Amino acid sequence: MKDEPVCGTWYPEIYSKLGLIPVKSDVTKIQVDCTVASIFPTSDLNVLGHDNLTISGTNFPRYLTDNIIDIEFSNPIKSKCVA
């Protein structure tokens, strides 16, 4: 199974039989954005936290243990989600 793009800024990668071909330093990076399609649940959340949220969308990292994800709410103190 081929991995889908992951959000971030990346250089294009080209492979030959001998492996990865080096990219010139003046090559423009490609921007891949994450999109959020849905969040569940959206109501009856505990104001003290400890609710599990399911966030669906595209281009999220495949393995969260290998990545740092930072999610914050838009409240005045910008509360952070803790994984």
Q: pLDDT per residue over 30-68, tens digit each?
A: 999 989 999 999 888 887 778 888 889 998 888 777 777
**83 band by pLDDT with thresholds 50, 70 and 90:** low
6: tokens are 């992951």
With beta carbons less than 8 A apart as the criterion, state whether 30 and 12 touch.
yes
In residues, how long is the chain?
83
pLDDT at residue 53, as a whole number: 84
Give the closest residue to 5 by CA, choosing from 71, 57, 70.
57
With beta carbons less than 8 A apart as the criterion, state whether 39 and 53 touch.
yes
Whether 29 has a pLDDT exceeding 80, the answer reads: yes
DSSP 27: S
pLDDT of 18-27, one tens digit each?
999 998 989 9
Report the predicted TM-score, pTM, of the whole model to 2 decimal places.
0.59
